[in-house]
Structure 1
Amino acid sequence: MGLFIQWLLRIAGAMLVIALLAMTLIYFLASRSLPEYDKTLRSNGVSAPVEIVRDNANVPHIFGESDADVFFALGYAHAQDRLWQMVTLRRTAQGRLSEVFGTSTLPIDKLLRRLDFFTLAVQSVQHQDERTTAALRAYSNGVNTRIDEINRDSLGRGAPEMFLFPNAIAPWQPADSIAIQKLMALQLSGHLEEEVLRARVSLILPDENRLLDILPEAPGTGVASLPEYAALVPETPRFTATTPLPSHPLSPFPRRPLAGASNAWAAAPSRSASGGTLLANDPHLGLSAPAIWYLTRLELSSGGVIGGTIPGIPTILTGRSDDLGWGLTSAYVDDQDVFIEQLNPENPEEYRTPGGFEPFVTRKSIINIADEQPVTLTLRWTENGPVLPGSHYSLGTVTPENHVAALGWTALSARDTSMSAAVAIMYAKSIQGALDAAEAYISPAQNMVVADRETVALKVIGALPRRDDEHQSKGRMPSLGWLAQNQWQGRLPYASNPVFRSPIGGIVGNTNNKMVERPFPLHVSYVWGDTQRIQRWQRLMQGRQVHTRDSFVEAQLDTVSFTARSLLPLVGGDLWFTGNAAPDGSTERLRQRALTLLAEWNGEMNEHLPEPLIYSAWLRALQVRLIQDEMGPLAEEFTHIEPLFIERVFRNVDGAGVWCDVIQSAPTESCTDMARLALDDALLWISEKYGTQLESLRWGDAHQATHDHQVLGKVPLLRYFVNIRQSTSGGDNTLQRGRTSGIGPNPFQNVHAGAYRGVYDFADPDSSVFVISTGQSGHFLSRFYDDMSQLWRRGEYVPMSLDPELARAASVGVTRLVPKQ
């Protein structure tokens, strides 16, 4: 027996030693790819010495004698810190993820191949201006220099992920950057799904008032009534099996509630306590680790520029120079249309056009799959755009037999000069210069908020399609592609894009809210991203005669929900302080406790409070009860509450109170009945998940920010090293927006937020501040992988200074790039 125990201990000891050696080896190999910031590198890519000075937050400050050298160094710095992210974004845009990840990403590749971003990007390269072409080439050379250095010096393949997925890295080229920019347009576009959803809902809710209840118009002047979709497209299938969009973490196809958002506002000197202009911006995108944003300072021939870049794109997309600050929000421009194309009954390779049947433009595309046989796709384009499969956004549910759906979209341009516009904005010295530069911008459509030292402005930038006055659905639902009146007729002139310059009130801003009401076809959109945050923003802006950098920061971090303040008295008006006393442990007593808490709550979505969780669960359960019987399976498409719908129902606008009655039941339920039942539903769900001690609940336990690694985030054990999870305040409708997932067992997880925040003060530019949601490095062994995440969570920032001495004073390293010759 003793001998057996001795051998057992020896085996266990040996296994422990082997495990330790394996972990040491893994750590050694992974650490080889940690970039060295303090070094000198000789390269043929620069014409004179260049310095990359990394300040104490690891923000690179790049100094060179020519702009080409600066862009070369930017490419090198991006590749040092985010090579895996860049390569993955490129593979996504090209539809080549399956070469690495196998069949799990095949649906994503198929859809991206049909959109053909990379081919369009290659064609767009030749249409960039000379300065942008030079920047793209220099940037590509910088990325490739880092790749060559990794291969030459055996630097751990450049990133730990490369050991798990050891595919060769192709050289970077200018088209890759343009393709990634198009990928960003995809992540910010939601009109396609809106069109299809509106058509699907109209098929089961032919009453136009009920359609306007569940898909309400943003407040403002009304629009002309819409025809029923069945009248537009006869013989449309009402019930068709659908395949959801790819749910893989690498999928760039956003669900409807997550298709872009952001905040930006600016104040003129007349509304600034310091006498200088102010600007704040926090663009909202899906959270990930690392964040999509990367902070950078470039010293160009026009002067210093600092702000947020996206690795793979050689320009600062939001930031400031000494003379100008600019920020972006999603404009929600109606720049997508679905066209129903009729196939030729005698030849399915032809489709109907205004001039008769024409052949599709077709091309074969081969998708290589890791450890599997390749798949060959036949890509088809009509004169309206690429043909998409019926599973895409449930297009099959609104497409009749012997028809296909095609997508018209401004981003599908082979002459896309958006990159040139973005570069030119970075060089601009004034508001007029920035507005002129933005004329070349195509997609994704944005609201650009700009401030120079004298005034402020806001303009919609991006292409607005020109539609015919007689368009059947006004671009709001799929339309017949062979009718000339439905087809696009080019682009509206840039001068017609809405602009607000030097306003009398001294403040401009946007929270994705409706900005203008113009008659079709000069409209901007019928679908907007916000009807709630704008209410709180107006109150904060008008609550002060003058503003400061700190008041702009305070507004950016504001977590008070106007939605909660306005809906709770409406929904619970007949429930508060009513009913008989109830014993502890009963449903009635739990409901009374919840109502008492909510009655004393000010609407602040604070992570430490229980009320935000009770409110959110209640409203979620209420909407489910209201729509489930009328909508059936389609109710699952409405994953987030629509405040205007709840308000219409409880105010009985145009008879909307009918939603409260359950069709299948004999009694006639009132809205008070629905509110009470929904609250009981919510409290039951909370009790099962978090317990019955309502006073001890924390919103932050449910509203955790999910900065997850898109590839390694689900790997057992490893996920604890690569994912960043944080308790956060805010919610769907607060200025500090933390958009919830709306699905799954944790529907209130924070998955979409302002991963970049910046506030610029032109009275004292070096007091400007910014922060990102994780850290500068994409390497999970780096101390800069998550060093900003707690600052971001707590609402803190790092300085945004263009003073080179401040950057050098506490630098974590200086990389010198010098010519070989």
Structure 2
Amino acid sequence: MSRSASRSSTASATTASTASTSPAPASSSATPPRTASATRIRVCPTSTRSKPTASATAIRRGCVANSATLRAREEWAPSCGLRRFIAAFVRSFSSAADATPRPRTSLIEANRSKSLPMIGLLAAIALQPSYDVTIRRDQWGIPHVEGKRDADVVFGLMFAQAEDDYETIETSAMGTIGRAAELRGEGGLTSDVRFRSYRIEELAKARLARADRHFQAIAQAYADGLNLYLAKHPETETRIKRYEPWFFLAGVNLPSNVDGIETAPEPAKLVSLEVGSNAWAIAPTKTTNGRATLFANPHVNLFGPGARYECVLKSGQGWEFDGFCILGSPIPHAGHNAHLAWSHTNTRADGADAYRLTMVGEDTYRVGDKTLKLERWTETIQVRVQYWTENRKVALERSIYGPVVRRDGAVYSVRLPIERNLDYWFQKLAMNKARNLKEFRKALAMGALTYSNTTYADDRGHIAFWYGSTVPRRDPSFDWSKPVDGSDPRTEWKGFHTTDELPHVIDPKSGFVQNCNSHPWLTTVGDDNPKPSDYPSYVVRDPDTTRAQNSRRILTSQPKFTFDELSRLAFDTYLYTTKQRLPKLLAAIDRDHPAAKALAAWDGVATVDSVPATLYIETETRLTPNPRQSGFEEDPTAIRTAFEATVQELERRWGSWQVPWGKVNRLRRGSSEPTWPVPGALSAFGGIFAFSGPRIDGVHYGQVGNSYVALVEPGKNGRFEAVCVVGQSADPASPHYVDQAPYYAAGKFRPRREGFERTYRPGE
């Protein structure tokens, strides 16, 4: 079904410019210097300081384009010139076309209007030079983006991302800016309601308006890079007609459940089977070459929103970084520079609370000795229905704590640290540019990461782990795992804990730290672990995951590791749950059955050739579809029944129960051939290499798990190895569509980057 254009986004806020600092990735190929003839790309900037208005008025350095009319003022000519006049005209035309929303808009009709040739021509003319940037693609298609300023680099990075996978960028952005329902229908309505309930757009624009000119220039470059791509590719079917600088700031974390109540009028229906990661840092005392080493291994979506996108960045303002972005974002999420490396794992650190309101009327509530009035308003959300969109009115309420949720006769208000989370990308940039442990800790002190742990290693031999980031200070006399009394002033937050007040480990005597979405109390071994008694009880809510237990097993298995040994361990597929679960399975089934004998002789490693791995994983999955949420079934009768059903199903579908795991656990991109056999399993089974997905015709095609695997020695001449799931490009015609898949499936890093296959500037 063809995708459609929908109403244009309103204008943003003011122009920006300069400043920043930091060195180069030790492991990537040196980037050749820019030639003197480097082209400058000028894009008419979108203002980032002006106050958002309900109309689609765009203000451009003396150029004013109203959403309904365009008045050509004589004074425009000397200050703006033809290109800016055309840019303003194009924006006003697009805005005017969408100025009056209709109750029902045909997607086909909206899509047809986008293809007017004049709009594409004018946009292409308008989007002309002001960024000094060069993109070089290496033999894996990874962009090495070099620019004079940080903003130049961001401009080139976003253009490169759009070249590789614009559709995913737009899909992610639609959710970020509160328009998911236009894309997903009812399935996106909850997200859009939360976006409006927390007033994300208003807060993001306000935060950008307070930013310095350097960051405003980066935000502008983000929008300009994507807009240039759309102008150069008018054939692209797009719902977002123009990207605005505030868009990427709006990507705050909005959990669907806080302390037992839903944060939106309707519960979220999609529950991820696997959201997690692994991260290790090994000290020089535990490596044979005396270098600190970081293992980075995020477990997220393999494709689509949330997917990892590799890049190498270098600016004349000291930004040099090699790592990955979350596709659609302009600043790397994790990776390394010339001095240090870090990665993240998700955490359940308690950064949100639910307040039970004491109502004294339909729309009034009490806090202490004050009676306050709920703020009430109505939002109109466009919701996709088959081939058109319909306007849906949603009534919203808000207290001083946040949006209001009414459940079973009770009234709750949900508080999230959104204003602090809006500093996320400011903090990420500071982390990218940090040159040592002191500077990195200063960046972490911004406390904007919300639901992330951080694992770190550097060229001076330091290793470290920090738990969480954004945890409010609370009165410890309350039970914060449940909704608290909103009428009691003592439940008010008292600022936020600093990173030093949260669990952390720096340079432990054991020589390693690890985290796999687990609690921080067993980050390492020995006395250097944080102690629960030293922290408020409300801070930590994570379990000790089986992957964390497996990591400690691995990292304590020998006194020192070579880089090559760590490279193999990064793809380890021993299922740690077999240590306890396999004996229970064997005790419950008929030990004389040949399948039971195969299981009894199994070493617990999920290789592609392993038949017992198929029997074990399929039986456990049949028992508990999502063990990460509810644990594994313990009843012997249920275990025996599940095992027998697994054997029967394998025999029915494949003609034998002797099915190698690689036959039913496979990697493919989209729904096309080829496919590859893959080791490993759902992360809940405790393997380091995680890979899982829904069963289709008896075969699990991976959708979540090891999205990126990297091992790096920070510093000069340090080694760096990495592999992504399939390839850099989402275009099936690209040579980089699945060129990394064979290495990933084999549990190996891809060959190192050597040379460049293409050098160009955005728009060329």
- TM-score band (shorter)? 0.7 to 0.9
Aligned residues: 627
- Whether contact under 8 Å (1:303, 1:322) holds in the other structure is no
1:450 equivalent in alignment to 2:448: no
Q: Give SS of 1:753's match.
A: strand
2:229–2:763 contact (8 Å) kept in structure 1: no
Match of 2:206 among 123, 129, 138: 123
Pick one of 445, 448, 467 that aligns with 1:460.
467
- Taking structure 1 as reference, are residues 782 and 749 closer, same or farther at Cα in structure 2, changes over 3 Å only? closer
In the alignment, residue 90 of structure 1 is paired with which amino acid? Answer: A
Distance 1:68 1:777 in 2: 24
- Alignment of 1:612 onto 2:613: yes
Q: Distance in 2 between matches of 1:360 and 1:737?
A: 49
Q: For residues 520 and 269 of structure 1, what CA distance do their matches in structure 2 show?
A: 29
Contact 1:50-1:818 at 8 Å conserved across structures: no
In the aligned structure 1, how far is the partner of 2:573 from the partner of 2:502? 32
Counterpart AA for 1:278: T
Residues 596-635 of structure 1 aligned to structure 2 (within 5 Å): 596-622=597-623
Q: SS at the partner of 1:126?
A: helix
Matches for 1:50-69 after TM superposition, within 5 Å = 50-69=133-152
Distance 2:617 2:183 in 1: 40
Name 1:698's counterpart in structure 2: 660
Match of 1:266 in 2: 281
Distance 1:787 1:363, change over 3 A: farther
The partner residue of 2:250 within 179, 183, 196 is 179
Indicate the residue corresponding to 2:627 in structure 1. Answer: 640
Equivalents in 1 of 2:639, 2:456: separation in Å?
44
Match of 2:348 in 1: 332
Q: Offset at 1:760?
A: 0.4
Structure 1 stretch displaced more, 606-615 or 698-707: 698-707
Note closer, same or farther for the CA distance 1:790–1:115 as it changes in structure 2 (3 Å cut): farther
Aligned twin of 1:385: 402
Aligned CA distance change for structure 1 residues 131 and 796 (closer, same or farther; 3 Å): farther
Cα distance change of structure 1 residues 642 and 372 upon mapping to structure 2, 3 Å threshold: closer
| 2:742 corresponding residue in structure 1 | 790
- CA separation in 1, counterparts of 2:266 and 2:376? 24
Q: Is the 8 A contact 1:518 1:524 kept in 2?
A: no
Query: What TM-score, normalized to structure 2?
Result: 0.74
Q: How many Å separate the matches in 2 of 1:519 and 1:500?
A: 16
Cα offsets for 1:335-367 (capped at 9, x unmatched): 2333333544x42x2344344542222333211
Mapped to 2, the partners of 1:479 and 1:686 lie a distance apart of: 51
- Deviation of the 1:278 alpha carbon: 0.8
Whole-angstrom CA distance in 1 between matches of 2:649 and 2:630: 21
Asked whether the 8 Å contact 2:181–2:188 carries over to 1, the reply is: yes
The amino acid of 1:400's aligned partner reads: D
Is residue 93–residue 118 contact of structure 1 (8 Å, CA) maintained in 2? no
Contact 1:620/1:641 (8 A) holds in 2: no
Task: Report whether the alignment pairs 1:245 with 2:268.
Answer: yes
The correspondence for 1:513, drawn from 512, 518, 529, is: 518
Q: In the TM superposition, what are the counterparts of 1:428-577 in structure 2 within 5 Å?
A: 428-454=434-460, 455-471=462-478, 474-516=479-521, 517-519=531-533, 522-523=536-537, 525-528=539-542, 530-573=544-587, 577=591
Q: CA deviation at 1:509?
A: 1.4
Supply the AA of the counterpart residue of 2:569. Answer: A
**For structure 2, which runs of at least 5 residues remain unmatched after alignment?**
1-36, 44-128, 522-530
Shift of 1:150: 2.8
Whole-Å Cα distance in 2 between the matches of residues 287 and 196 of structure 1?
30
- Tell me the secondary structure at the aligned position of residue 736 of structure 1: coil
- SS of aligned partner of 1:368: strand
Shift of 1:610: 2.1
Distance 2:310 2:506 in 1: 28
Within-5 A mapping of 1:192-207: 192=257, 195-196=260-261
Partner SS, residue 520 of structure 2: coil
The 1-side partners of 2:594 and 2:492 are apart by 58
Q: What is the Cα-based RMSD across aligned positions, in Å?
A: 3.4
Q: Which amino acid aligns with 1:703?
A: N
The one-letter amino acid paired with 1:298 is: L
**Structure 1 position 75, deviation (Å):** 2.4
Percent of aligned pairs with the same amino acid: 20
Deviation (angstroms), 1:537: 1.2
Q: CA deviation at 1:818?
A: 10
The residue type paired with residue 640 of structure 2 is: R
> What secondary structure sits across from 2:532 in the alignment?
coil
- Which residue is 2:725 aligned to? 773
| C-alpha distance in 2 between matches for 1:815 and 1:597 | 56
Cα shift readout 1:616-672 (whole Å, capped 9, x = no counterpart): 33334555xxxxxxxxxxxxxx732679766xx6xxxxxxxxxx5xxxxxxxxxxx4
Conserved? CA contact 1:263–1:735, under 8 Å? no
Distance 2:41 2:446 in 1: 34
The counterpart of 1:306, out of the listed 309, 314, 322, is: 322
Report how far residue 298 of structure 1 moved: 0.8
The one-letter code of the counterpart of 1:451 is A
1:814 matched to 2:759? The reply is: yes
Counterparts of 1:725 and 1:339, CA distance in 2: 50
- The CA deviation at 1:681 is 4.1
Asked if structure 1 preserves the Cα contact closer than 8 Å seen for 2:588 and 2:637, the reply is no
CA contact (8 A) 1:291 1:773 kept: no
Moved more, 679-688 or 444-453: 679-688
How has the CA–CA distance of structure 1 residues 482 and 788 changed in structure 2, closer, same or farther, with 3 Å as cutoff?
farther
Distance in 2 of aligned mates of 1:134 and 1:745: 50
Match of 1:43 among 32, 41, 44: 41
Aligned AA (2:549): Q
Distance 2:653 2:198 in 1: 42
Tell me the residue number matched to 1:376.
393
Secondary structure of 2:467's counterpart equals strand
Q: Residue 417 in 1 paired to residue 423 in 2? A: yes
In 1, Cα distance between the equivalents of 2:469 and 2:701?
32
Moved more, 486-495 or 535-544: 486-495
Higher helix share: 1
Letter in 1 for 2:680: S
Where does structure 1 lack aligned partners over 5 or more consecutive residues? 1-38, 198-241, 248-253, 391-398, 578-588, 624-637, 650-659, 661-671, 709-718
The CA deviation string for residues 539-596 of structure 1, in whole angstroms up to 9 with x for no partner, is 211222222322222222000011112221244336574xxxxxxxxxxx6xx22221
TM-score (norm 1): 0.69
Residue 177 of structure 1 aligns to which amino acid in structure 2? F
Q: Is the 8 A contact 1:289 1:724 kept in 2?
A: no
Higher relative contact order (CA 8 A, sep 6+): 1
**Kept in 1: contact 2:140–2:736 (CA 8 A):** yes
| Shift in Å, 1:759 | 0.9
1:78-99 Cα offsets, whole Å, 9 max, x none, are 2322322222211111221333
